């Protein structure tokens, strides 16, 4: 089962492809500054790991929700493997090869593609060998809890599992998380042969606090009429926040993003050419079909004015002088993780965002391979109807499914939903 040969050909092709995409987007314009910085930072991330590999220096792979600030404090490059391996598979158009490699070692098709993809990439030997892998259960996702075990076996590298308690907002939960982070730091120190720079970690947390302040501003700007924020921007911001938390480059990105959309809002300009519908967007749209979001904006006049997963950050009481406790409390404030917590926490979040944004309806991007998402979809629909009075379309998608048939079917369902909204609006008028 161990991979004996690393092939960096595909990895290097991804860097070249990202550079071409950035160049193309800038030449066909107008490209917003935030989008340009997104591609710039993604390329930088690829190159940082490539350089560490070339120089024989340690770097790490980590799963979503592991705080990037830890790696900043250690002074080592790190990549969030769900995003990076998904990007690589799409850039290389290698879905069949990657999923085939995962299936060959027993990872079946019904497993969420966010976990199958990094397993497949490593099974092919297409990623440089990290010093270790840090992962978690996201509180109750067993797919997340098992994926890195397989990846560690494939590359014969140690893994550290960070266990997140279900009642993570309680003081007992916070203290448990502090212990988990202490063990994570010990793992990183052992694998790198260096000590945590606690001052650097504190500085990273101070930067994260500033990032969150700006994200809150963007959240409010999202609700302006007309909406000044492009639909693509939420996914971009989501990945940059995870990958560049605690880094000045990430802060620069959010400042540019905020300034750009605020300038549009101040002029009364929207990102959608002809805004007709103002919708919520719940969970994560298919990440390799971002042109579908462009289609919503340009062809259907849809503005996504509510993105609670990405922008509705809770009260922030981070104390940089207590870095590990601060990172522990971050779980409670981070909006994306509420989906993996108690149902009431999540439902309250989306209800409040729906009310504040004045959204006419909701698109719930239901990941068909996610058992938690399936269990929540009807409850979400009923709750928004009962407490806000808006309809919800549950869109059955695979986060990384490249099938044109899947995209065509999804568009047809959304078109029918929008037509019903238009009819209802006319009748109400």
Over residues 293-301, the mean pLDDT reads 94
Which pTM was predicted? 0.93
Report residue 426's pLDDT band, with 50, 70 and 90 as the boundaries.
very low
Per-residue pLDDT, 313: 87
- Which of residues 388 and 236 earns the better pLDDT score? 388
* 148-180: pLDDT as tens digits: 999 999 999 999 999 887 766 678 888 899 999
CB 394 within 8 A of CB 314: no
Whether residue 145 has pLDDT greater than 90: no
For residue 123, give both structure tokens: 């099974």
- Predicted pLDDT of residue 36: 86
Handedness of CA 40, 45, 46, 50 (dihedral sign): positive
Domains, the chain, ordered by start: 9-196 (3.40.50.11890), 200-428 (3.40.50.11900)
> Is the pLDDT reported for residue 429 higher than 50?
no
Which is more confident, 285 or 281? 281
Q: Tell me the pLDDT tens digit for each residue of 352-379.
A: 999 999 999 999 988 777 766 667 889 9
Q: CA-CA distance, 24 to 63, in Å (whole number)?
A: 30
DSSP class of 105: T
The answer on pLDDT for 137 being more than 90 is no
Top mean-pLDDT range of 71-75, 211-215, 284-288: 71-75
The answer to which of 293-302, 338-347, 391-400 has the lowest mean pLDDT is 338-347
Residue 402's pLDDT band (cuts 50, 70, 90): low
- In the chain, helix, strand, coil percent, each to 5? 60, 10, 30
* Residue 42 pLDDT greater than 90, yes or no: yes
Per-residue pLDDT, averaged over 210-222, amounts to 95
Q: Sheet holding 277-283: strands in order across? A: 302-306, 277-283, 361-367, 392-397
Angle at 131 between CA 125 and CA 133, to 5 degrees: 80
- Per-residue pLDDT at 390: 97
Q: What is the DSSP letter of 8?
A: -
Close Cβ partners of 204 (under 8 Å, ≥ 6 residues apart):
69, 72, 73, 245, 246, 247
Q: Starting at the earlier edge strand, list the strands of the sheet with 159-162.
A: 78-80, 60-62, 132-136, 159-162
Least confident range from 12-21, 133-142, 235-244: namely: 133-142
Provide the pLDDT confidence category of residue 342 given band limits of 50, 70 and 90: confident
Whether residue 426 contacts residue 419, with contact meaning beta carbons closer than 8 Å, is answered with no
**pLDDT beyond 60 at 423:** yes
CB 280 within 8 A of CB 353: yes
| pLDDT digits 0-9 by tens, 176-214 | 999 999 999 999 999 999 999 999 999 999 999 999 999
Which residues make Cβ contacts (< 8 Å) with residue 314, sequence separation at least 6?
332, 333, 334, 335
Query: What band does 226 get if pLDDT is binned at 50, 70 and 90?
Result: very high
Tokens of 362: 């909701």
| 229 pLDDT above the threshold of 90 | yes
pLDDT grade, residue 252 (50/70/90)? very high
Check residue 263 and give its pLDDT. 95
């Amino acid at each position: 089962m161990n991979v004996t040969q690393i092939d960096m050909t595909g990895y290097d092709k991804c860097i070249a492809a990202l550079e071409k995409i950035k160049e193309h987007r800038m030449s066909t314009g107008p490209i917003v500054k935030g989008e340009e910085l997104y591609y710039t930072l993604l390329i930088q991330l690829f190159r940082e790991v490539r350089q560490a590999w070339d120089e024989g220096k340690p770097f790490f792979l980590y799963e979503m929700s592991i705080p990037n600030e830890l790696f900043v404090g250690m002074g080592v490059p790190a990549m969030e493997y769900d995003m990076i391996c998904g990007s690589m598979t799409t850039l290389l158009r290698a879905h069949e090869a990657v999923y085939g490699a995962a299936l060959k070692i027993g990872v079946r098709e019904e497993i969420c593609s966010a976990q199958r993809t990094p397993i497949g990439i490593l099974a092919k030997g297409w990623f440089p060998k990290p010093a270790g892998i840090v992962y978690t259960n996201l509180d109750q996702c067993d797919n997340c809890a098992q994926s890195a075990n397989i990846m560690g076996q494939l590359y014969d590298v140690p893994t550290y599992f960070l266990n997140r308690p279900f009642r993570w907002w309680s003081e007992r939960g916070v203290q448990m998380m502090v212990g988990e982070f202490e063990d994570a730091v010990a793992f990183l120190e052992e694998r790198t042969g260096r000590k945590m720079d606690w001052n650097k970690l504190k500085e990273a947390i101070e930067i994260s606090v500033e990032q969150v302040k700006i994200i809150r501003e963007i959240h409010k700007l999202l609700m302006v009429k007309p909406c000044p924020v492009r639909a693509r921007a939420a996914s971009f911001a989501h990945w940059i926040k995870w990958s560049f938390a605690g880094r000045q480059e990430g802060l620069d990105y959010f400042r540019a993003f905020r300034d750009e959309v605020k300038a549009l809002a101040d002029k009364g300009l929207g990102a959608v050419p002809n805004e007709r519908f103002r919708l919520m967007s719940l969970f994560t749209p298919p990440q390799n079909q971002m042109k579908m979001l462009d289609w919503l904006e340009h062809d259907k006049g849809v503005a996504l004015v509510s993105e609670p997963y990405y922008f509705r950050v809770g009260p922030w009481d981070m104390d940089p002088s207590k870095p590990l406790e601060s990172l522990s409390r971050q779980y409670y404030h981070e909006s994306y993780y509420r989906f993996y917590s108690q149902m009431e926490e999540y439902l309250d979040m989306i209800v409040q965002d729906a009310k504040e944004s004045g959204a006419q309806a909701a698109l719930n991007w239901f990941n068909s391979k996610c058992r938690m998402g399936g269990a929540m979809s009807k409850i979400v629909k009923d709750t928004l109807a009962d407490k806000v009075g808006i309809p919800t379309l549950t869109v059955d998608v695979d986060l990384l499914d490249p099938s044109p048939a899947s995209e065509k079917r999804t568009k047809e369902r959304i078109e029918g939903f929008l037509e019903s909204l238009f009819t209802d609006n006319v009748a109400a008028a």
